[in-house]
Amino acid sequence: MPLDKETSAVRQKGLKLKEFTNSDAWGDIKGQLTEKLVALADITTLSEADPMVMLQEIKVRKLAINLVMGWVREIEGQVNQHEANESAFRSIKEESVIIQF
């Protein structure tokens, strides 16, 4: 049973993301990002200034951390969705083979 173009494109993208996140490169990149985010979250690095300025900087740092970590979770979530889709496709394919006999 051939897949339509859109389904095929979604599967290809999911496969590429899965291969990338399973690679050593992803682990290295994620580790480096995590180190940078931990450093960014360290409020002891704030320069002593007006409390309102410090509060604003904390807000900006938090926003940046949430943005990057949200992106990482999104990528890994897409990989998990791809794996669930592949399992569903295998089941559908197996059922269609049984029905065709």
Summarize pLDDT for 1-57 with one digit per residue, the tens. Answer: 567 788 888 889 999 999 999 999 999 999 999 999 999 999 999 887 889 999 999
> How many domains are there within the chain?
1
Domain holding 27, by residue range, is 5-100
Q: Whole-model pTM?
A: 0.74
The CB density around residue 34, as the number of other CB atoms within 10 Å, is 13
